[in-house]
Chain A
Amino acid sequence: MLRFLARRSLGALVIIVLISAITFALFFALPAQPALMSCGKNCTPEAVALINKNLGLDQPVPVQYWHYMAGIFTGRDFTVGHCPAPCFGYSFSNQQPVWGTIVDRFPTTLSITLGGAAVFLVVGVGIGMIAAAFRGTWIDKFFSSLSLVGNSLQIYFVGVIALAVFVSGLHWMDNPAYYPITENPVKWFTGMLIPWLVLSIIFIANYSRMTRSQMIEQLGEDHVRTARAKGLGRRTVFFRYAWRGALAPIVTIFGIDLGSLFGGAIITEFTFSLHGLGRLAVSSVSETDLPTLMAVMLVGCTAIVVANIVVDAAYAVIDPRVRLA
């Protein structure tokens, strides 16, 4: 297992470095000038040159890239002072240390992701299993239809409706907001409830449909039939044999979804005016803020890669037939 993890981690590192280099290069292919963001209204070419120098953009792109990547591990010195490792530089747009901003935004993303994932995994898989257990009955049809409806909805639509009804209309819930769980767990929960529910509506549909189809497939497998023939109870067959077999693809998709959400649930954050990594990513693109863009991209990329490694490792636990060489 350790060898497997080491090999996958090494591969992941190469992927992250490659993606960072591509992102960096693509940024400089843009016709936009970051200096214009800090140049005031009466901007002149001389002022642009001065700002480019301040931002370090007057150096060759490979040199800039090297300084950026090296700074993550060793820290960097800027005119504003020393930036300790992990140093992702200073934001072009607001001159703040990027790492501080990432650290500040990540808990919001983490809260949205973990809470939303818990809801959509439990409810989605649960509904899928019920539908599979009652295949062909009205229960199955009801849940299948429901998941179809969920699948066709969008967060920005459901979110706005939820706000209008539950917050502005009925006043059952507070306006969504992030409060640190360490400071006020109740406010954290109530502030996140609507985003979790809305985010999960979209994902529940996917998970219930996938679980249902996987379960139905597994229930028709030979080893399940054999288990039944041996006289094992319905519940044992369902959970111990069929569900375990159905779990692997669900875990795979869950890992990818979780990794993507860690990179920022952009639409959810915008819909509910939350400040997570997704919103930061969008603003860094529109502001041509390279250090922030790189940092968000690296965090997102790392999250996805790590999630994939965890999924691969989890396979061995879920399905003994899988061996980690």
Chain B
Amino acid sequence: MQPTTRSRRSRGRLASSATALAAGALVLSACSSGGGGGGSGDKSEGPGTDKNTSSNYSIGTKEDSAGPAPEVPGAKKGGTVGVLQRDAFLHLDPGQIYYSDMLANQLLYNRTLTSYKVDDKGRVKVVGDLATDAGTASDGGKTWKFTLKDGLKFEDGSPITAKDVRWGVERLYASFETDGPLYVPQWLSGDGTDFRKALPDGPYKGAHLPASVLDTPDDKTIVFHFRQPHADAPFATAMPNIGPVKAEKDTQRKYDNAPFSSGPYKVADYKVGKSLTLVRNENWDAKTDPVRHQYADRFEISFGHQYADSTRRFLADQGADKNTLSFTNAVAPEMTEKVLGQADTKARRFVEIQPYVDYISFNMDRIKDASVRKALAYAMPNGQILQQMGGATAGVLATNYLSPAMDGYKATDPFGKKAKPAGDPDKARELLKQAGKEGQEIVYAYPNTDLQQKVSVVVTQALERAGFKVQKKEIDSNTWRTAIAEVKNKFDIYRTSWGADWPVSSTVVPPLFDGRQIADGAQNYGHLNNSAVNTEIDRISAIPDVKKAAPEWQRLADKIFTEDVPGVPTFYNTQFSLWGSNLGGIRYQPVYGTVDPTGVYVK
């Protein structure tokens, strides 16, 4: 998943996006967590600490998948919820959605085969959304069958059938659908862009995928025949693009302006780049939906609100701003102290950990000696980097590659970052000496944002203390992602980041460390290509139980970190949110790392 940026964003994609997010969460130190968990004032038990949070994720039962969603205590119907967003949404078409802000937004008008049910304690269950349950696997996990519930309707009252879900999946094969996650079509028809060859025009010229690939034997049943076993299929089918699209309403590219709703709200007015108004979808039936509510009459979303602007308005808490929230705008760094010091904000704020991790990647094509890479890892001042990014409400010091938001996370710390958050220059110097690389020159690239310039100072100082000679390369933030994603780049180390698409590490370890995925623009930034790692990735991917795979992913990630060292994680991002006092039912969506709008009501 992509965190919102948009510094649009430069939406210089993921890494820069996460920078912007982290920047937004920049704060001063020693802040305690605020409210959360439904605005109760208590920190939720979501994955906000570095304990093993496996128990927070599970696959729900058929009963869990039945609607309606549990009532939010004290919830009332009516009113308008205002939403202030910094970046305009790039897409409304669920097929194109990947950023966290749009992921949160689509929950209001788009339903998917499965979805995430988050309870008051922050525990997450993958449940059937359109489907009666989270799917039934056969053929060793290669075939997944979903049965649709009764009473599902589009916004015009027409029934949602398996054919509509099929259409929704098949349109992802069309050449214009490039921005969204492509797990399911790739699992069905081919890796990379090869899957498009199976249906080059999507469903638009009458062709369809054969039943041996995607089958809809009746109006209620949809069967996916994947090429390989995929234990995490119920997570993949919770992505926004695995849902229904009514063929008659599919305007292809123009669908991005006016998606046809299957959720509790529908698009009433959309001014691209300025505002979006969602109103009640009268044909949505709460009895079919285990996740969403329809308390407010409408959501009025406006864009272009810098963090300082939204924070000022939430703090002032006047007039219509009392009914206002943001899906992703963080508390402005300069206002953190004020927010934390203003007593009335305690019940209307939270700080929660996100699935995004910041790294400093090591270019293994240039730094070939593992001892040097280990020395870099020991020397890296994670604590100081986090401090520059804002301290306690901006993130949590990272000790290994996987975020605490991941299922199966263990707080391993092979380089002793907890004990020595400022780095271990002595150990690093010793390793360099043993390798005969004292005074090794390092070309360190970073984007020219204010925050990263500050970070560059502490990184440079720490590496020089450890005996490196650092050559800093400042890169324009708009072109930075392109520069570091070039395989033959001329840099030794550079800041990167990654966010999981769902809380299973199959969406982290393969893209970051599978040597077969090294390519310009790809995310194996360290260029690790270890056949043993590649083989292990294949083995774990084939484990049919995600719960059993989770600790295996952690073990592999730690092995890579300890032996290959293609980079060092620096901190786990957090989301620091504040909202107006007249709203209730706000909770954290731990998979997207955003405010969850599905249970929001106006008091």
Shortest C-beta distance, B130 to chain A (Å), equals: 23
Q: Report Cα–Cα, A171/B303, bound state, in Å.
A: 23
A68 to B254, CA, bound (A): 21
Which residues of the partner chain A approach B13 to less than 8 Å between Cβ atoms? 36-37, 39, 41, 43
> In the assembled complex, how far is the CB of residue A53 from the closest CB belonging to chain B, in whole angstroms?
8
A308 within 8 A of B: no
B7 at the interface (CB under 8 A from A): yes
Contact of A41 among B2, B316, B479 (CB under 8 A): B2
| Contact of B178 with A47 in the complex, beta carbons under 8 Å | yes
Minimum CB distance partner of B196 in chain A: A50
Establish whether residues B179 and A38, one from each chain, have CB atoms under 8 Å apart when the complex forms. yes
A175 within 8 A of B: yes
User: Does B67 sit at the interface, judged by CB under 8 A?
Assistant: no
Contact of A44 among B315, B479, B521 (CB under 8 A): B521
Query: Judging by beta carbons under 8 Å apart, are B8 and A41 in contact?
Result: no
A149 is an interface residue with CB less than 8 A from chain B: no
| Interface set, chain B 311-364, CB cutoff 8 A to A | 312-313, 315-316, 318-319, 321
How far, in angstroms, from A32 to B11 measured CA to CA in the complex? Answer: 11
State the CA gap A175–B304 with chains docked (Å).
13
How close is A172's CB to chain B, nearest CB, in angstroms?
11
- Of A13-21, A230-238, A283-291, which binds chain B? A283-291
Contact of A79 among B2, B176, B271 (CB under 8 A): B176
B253 engages A94 (CB within 8 Å): no
Shortest distance between the CB of B516 and any CB in chain A (Å): 12
Q: Please give me the residue from chain B that is nearest to A97 by CB atom.
A: B272
B519 touches A42 (CB 8 A): no
Please tell me the number of chain B residues within 8 Å of chain A, measured between CB atoms: 59
Contact status B482-A270, CB under 8 Å:
no
Interface presence of B266 (CB below 8 A): no
Q: How far is the CB of A22 from chain B (nearest CB, A)?
A: 19
Which residues of chain A from 142 to 179 have a CB within 8 Å of any chain B CB? 160, 163-164, 167-169, 171, 175
**Is the interface on chain A under 10, 10 to 19, 20 to 34, or 35 or more residues?**
35 or more
Provide the bound-state CA to CA distance between A22 and B313, in Å: 42
A45 touches B312 (CB 8 A): no
Cβ–Cβ contact B8 & A283, under 8 A:
yes
Closest residue of chain B to A30 (Cβ to Cβ) is: B479
Say yes or no: A46 contacts B193, CB within 8 Å: yes
Query: Which of chain A's residues has its CB closest to B498's CB?
Result: A41
What's the minimum C-beta distance from B339 to chain A, rounded to whole angstroms?
13
Taking the closest CB of chain B, its distance from the CB of A83, in whole angstroms, is 12
8 Å CB interface, A296-317 against B:
none
Complex Cα spacing A128 to B359, Å: 57
Check: B308 CB closer than 8 A to any chain A CB: yes
Please determine whether B178 and A54 come into contact, CB atoms closer than 8 angstroms: yes
CB distance from B459 to the nearest CB of A (A): 24
Residues of B within 8 A of A81 (CB): 254
Which residues in B have their C-beta under 8 angstroms from that of A274?
Answer: 304
Contact between chains at B178 and A286 (CB < 8 Å): no
Residues of A within 8 A of B8 (CB): 93, 283, 286-287
Query: Is A80 part of the binding interface, using a Cβ–Cβ cutoff of 8 Å?
Result: yes
- Of A37, A46, A167, which contacts B192 at CB under 8 A? A46
Tell me whether A226 is interfacial, beta carbon within 8 Å.
no
In whole Å, how far is B351's beta carbon from the nearest beta carbon of chain A?
23
- A44, A163, A288: the one contacting B312 at CB < 8 Å is A163
Q: Of A31, A40, A51, A286, which contacts B181 at CB under 8 A? A: A40
Q: What is the CA–CA distance of A40 and B182 in the complex, to the nearest angstrom? A: 9
Contacts of B180 in A (CB 8 A): 40
> A209 within 8 Å of B by Cβ?
no
CA–CA, A283 to B273, complex, Å? 10
Q: Once bound together, how far apart are the Cα atoms of A51 and B13, in whole Å? A: 15
B 393-434 binary contact with A (CB < 8 Å = 1; else 0): 000000000000000000000000000000000000000000
A104 contacts B by Cβ under 8 Å: yes
- B479, A31: Cβ atoms closer than 8 Å: yes
Q: Taking the nearest CB of chain B, how far is it from the CB of A111, in angstroms? A: 14
For the complex, is A64 an interface residue (Cβ under 8 Å from B)?
no
A279 interface hit (Cβ, 8 Å): yes
Please pick, from A32, A42, A53, A279, the residue contacting B482 in the complex, using a CB distance under 8 A. Answer: A32
Decide yes or no: A273 and B304 within 8 Å by CB, A41-B98, A44-B519, A286-B10 being known contacts: yes
The reply on A59 being an interface residue by CB < 8 A is no
Q: B254–A80 contact, CB under 8 A?
A: yes
* A125 interfacial by beta-carbon distance below 8 Å: no
A273-B521 contact given A47-B178, A54-B175, CB 8 Å threshold = no
Which of B196, B273, B309, B478 is the one whose CB lies under 8 Å from A273?
B309
A74 interfacial contact with B, CB 8 Å: no
Q: Provided the pairs A43-B522, A47-B193 are in contact, do residues A275 and B274 lie with their beta carbons within 8 angstroms?
A: yes
CB distance from B481 to the nearest CB of A (A): 7
A169 to B313, CA, bound (A): 11
Instruction: Give chain A nearest CB distance to B272 CB in angstroms.
Output: 5
Identify the closest chain B residue to A283 (Cβ). B8
Q: Which residues of A contact B192 (CB under 8 A)?
A: 44, 46-47
Q: A38-B178, A175-B321 are in contact. Are A286 and B193 (CB under 8 A)?
A: no
In the complex, chain B residues whose CB is within 8 Å of the CB of A105: 273
A96 close to B482 (CB less than 8 A): no
Let me know if A96 and B316 touch, CB within 8 A. Answer: no
- Check: B91 CB closer than 8 A to any chain A CB: yes
B12 at the interface (CB under 8 A from A): yes
User: Which residues of chain A are near B252, meaning CB under 8 Å?
Assistant: 80
Q: Return chain A residues, CB-CB under 8 Å to B478.
A: 30, 32, 285-286, 288
Note all chain B residues with C-beta closer than 8 A to A95. Answer: 176, 253, 256
Residue of B nearest to A93 (CB): B90
Is the CB–CB distance between B256 and A94 below 8 Å?
Answer: yes
B60 near A: Cβ within 8 Å?
no
Which residues of B (453-483) have their CB < 8 Å from a CB of A? Answer: 478-479, 481-483
Q: Enumerate chain B residues within 8 angstroms of A252, measured Cβ to Cβ.
A: none
A-B contact pairs, 17 of them (CB 8 A): A33-B482, A40-B182, A44-B519, A44-B522, A47-B192, A80-B176, A93-B8, A94-B91, A94-B272, A96-B272, A104-B271, A105-B273, A163-B312, A168-B318, A175-B321, A273-B309, A275-B304
Interface on A for B, CB 8 Å cutoff?
30-33, 36-48, 50-51, 53-54, 79-81, 93-96, 100-101, 104-105, 160, 163-164, 167-169, 171, 175, 269-270, 273-275, 279-280, 283, 285-288
4 closest residue pairs by CB, A with B: A168-B316, A46-B193, A80-B253, A32-B479
**Given A39-B13, A43-B521, A54-B178: 13 more A-B contacts, CB < 8 Å:** A32-B12, A41-B511, A43-B522, A44-B193, A44-B522, A48-B521, A80-B254, A96-B273, A104-B272, A273-B304, A286-B8, A286-B9, A287-B8
